[in-house]
Structure formats: C-alpha cells, structure tokens
Amino acid sequence: MALSSVLQSESADFSFNIDRSFSFGCGFGQTDLGFGAAPGDRLNFAIKASLGPDDKDGPERKIEFLHGTTTLAFKFQHGVIVAVDSRATAGAYIASQTVKKVIEINPYLLGTMAGGAADCSFWERLLARQCRVYELRNKERISVAAASKLLANMVYQYKGMGLSMGTMVCGWDKRGPGLYYVDSEGNRVCGDLFAVGSGSMYAYGVVDSGLRQDLSVEEACELGRRAIYQATYRDAYSGGQVNLYHVHSEGWTRVSQEDVLKLHHQYQEPKK
C-alpha cells in the first residue's frame, strides 16, 4: 500500500526534492505521488541531509529527534500498560518537558512515539485514517495485528529514505490484549514487553524484576510508573512527566500524568 494509494485524491501533495538522485530510482514519474507533482516542488517531508555527498553540515540540520526518550509497554492479565516520559531534546538542549508521546489512534488503539516526532505523529495519524476506513468497510474493529501490519507496510515503502520511527502499537481486540513493536527499519514484532529509547535499559531493569502475569491494575500502573521514573533518574535525555495509559477490553484509559520530581520525593522520602 504505497502512500499514493493510501492518500488518493483528497490529500495534500507530497513531493520529494526530486533533483536529488535517490539510490533506487525513486525519481519523478516512478512513484505516483498524487496530482500535480512537478520537479522542483519544495515541500520536503524527508531529511534532505544525509543523502548528498556535498552536504558538509548535513547531520547537524536535523529534525528534532526523540531517540532520547523512554517509552514502555507491557501486557498483563488485565490488558496493556503504556508508560512514557515527556522530554524532547535537541543535543544537550531540553526543547520541551511536556511532549505527548502517546498517540491516541482511536478509542481502543494507542501508539507510542520514539524517533522523529513528525514521522511518528504523521504516520500514526495516517494509520488512524486507515483503521477507520477498515472499520467502516468491514463493520468491525480492526485487530491490533492488522493495524500494526498496515503501519509496518506503509513505512516499509520508505525504507532507506531516512524515516525514523520506533513505535509500539497497543490495543485490545478479539484475541485479547495486543502489543506490537513497529519501526522504520521494517521490524514488526509481537511481544509481551517492550521498552524503546535511550532510557529503555533502565526501564527494562525495573519491569523485568517486577513483572508478573497476575498483577492487579494498580500494581501494574505503579510498575510502569516506577520504571519510567528510574529511567528518567539515570538517563539525561528522559524526564518531564510520566504519562500512563491502561488498555483494557473497553478501550484505553488515561490513568495518570505525574511530574518526575514529585515522584522522586515520593519514592525517596521513605528512605530518609
């Protein structure tokens, strides 16, 4: 499902900077990019940077990346817990402490954001559109497997063109709780636990030691919250607030949003 067929007719015109020679012949006329795509159109949705040999300062002209982040999601008996931080950094500069890294695809599907903010939010909004069309055509909700597959296929078309996206698609469908990791390299993996980002190692440590299948909802939320907090404590690129969501059979609920400093006092206080 190429972008052209997904975005047919009622979409804006997305054209790449066509005088750049891409390695596998994605030139004008070869990818059908919608009406009126003409050479020299200056709407660029890819990073021009890393593709030309004469760009000395290429890597510097980056879009704000969220590789510096911690997002995690895990399955348990009552569904899926999704916990994320909210810091965005550009190098050593903290650009924002209040980024929403969980994208609400529809009332029963969530996507997390790691990598390029624009890539994540754009493709997941596109995914929301596809999911809605599926629902209307087939008179039933799309499964998490199918939704993650649609996203993976959409993004695979652009493999090697500089997309940066590492997302977890979480939901509840006929088969129960669903959790898939999808990234711009073309990986799509089903699993019970994922943590993505620079702080993921710290988060894994906490969740691995505390995860049991028979956790109650509060215990699971607390585990997710604690994992993100510990990651923000040690990782410079993660911080801000911990946003926590719970996906259950009725859909998702936003459980809490707590500032990391407040959590720090909460956890460290009893030690004194």
- Residues catalogued as catalytic: 69
Angle between helices 260-268 and 217-234 (to 10 degrees): 100
Interface characters, 92-131, with other proteins (x: CB under 8 A):
----------------------------------------
Residue recorded with tokens 């943590």: 195
Q: What DSSP designation does 249 have? A: T
Q: Up-side HSE of residue 166: CA atoms within 13 Å toward CB?
A: 17
The residue range among 145-153, 155-163, 205-213, 219-227 that interacts with other proteins, by the rule CB under 8 A, is 145-153
Q: How far apart are CA 151 and CA 122, in angstroms?
A: 11
175 vs 265 by CB, closer to other proteins: 175
Least distance CB 137 / other proteins (angstroms): 8
Residue recorded with tokens 């993004």: 155
Buried b / exposed e along 228-255 (16+ C-beta atoms within 10 A): bbbbbbebebbbbbbbbbbbeeebbeeb
- By CB under 8 A, residue 149 contacts other proteins: yes
- By CB under 8 A, residue 145 contacts other proteins: yes
- By CB under 8 A, residue 138 contacts other proteins: yes
Q: How far apart are CA 197 and CA 267, in angstroms?
A: 23
Among 4, 17, 121, 153, binds other proteins (CB under 8 A): 153
Least distance CB 140 / other proteins (angstroms): 9
Least distance CB 30 / other proteins (angstroms): 23
**All residues at 6 or more sequence positions from 55 whose CB lies less than 8 Å from its CB, including other chains:** 48, 49
154 vs 207 by CB, closer to other proteins: 154
The residue range among 5-13, 29-37, 141-149, 235-243 that interacts with other proteins, by the rule CB under 8 A, is 141-149
- By CB under 8 A, residue 150 contacts other proteins: yes
List residues near other proteins by CB under 8 A: 1, 137-138, 142-143, 145-146, 149-150, 153
